[in-house]
């Protein structure tokens, strides 16, 4: 599989769009998972998980967050 952006060898797959990404186009972020405990409380699960996105999806998600910020 090759990177969708540069056609180099892919080292990961974007969890958002499924595109292959090379080292230069892979963005790894932390994904804080939660679980529900009694009384419907959400608590954070440790350790945090990884989220892998391509450069295009990470840019789109960041723009969406900025436009919906209070």
Query: Taking the model in full, what pTM does it have?
Result: 0.73
Strands (E) in 17-58, as ranges, are 20-21, 26-31, 34-37, 41-44, 49-54
Query: Residue 66: which pLDDT band, with cuts at 50, 70 and 90?
Result: confident
Nearest CA to 42 out of 29, 55, 33, 51 is that of 33
Say if residues 61 and 28 touch (Cβ distance below 8 Å).
no
**Separation of alpha carbons 70 and 17, rounded Å:** 27
Average pLDDT over residues 3-29: 95
Which value, in Å, is the radius of gyration of the alpha carbons in the chain?
Answer: 15
Q: pLDDT tens digit string along 29-42? A: 998 899 998 888 99
């Amino acid at each position: 599989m090759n990177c969708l952006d540069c056609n180099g060898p892919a080292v990961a797959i974007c969890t958002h769009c499924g595109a292959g990404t090379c080292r230069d186009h892979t963005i790894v972020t932390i994904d804080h998972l939660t679980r529900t405990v009694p009384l419907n409380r959400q608590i954070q699960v440790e350790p945090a998980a990884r989220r892998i996105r391509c450069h295009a999806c990470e840019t789109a998600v960041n723009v969406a967050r900025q436009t919906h910020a209070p």
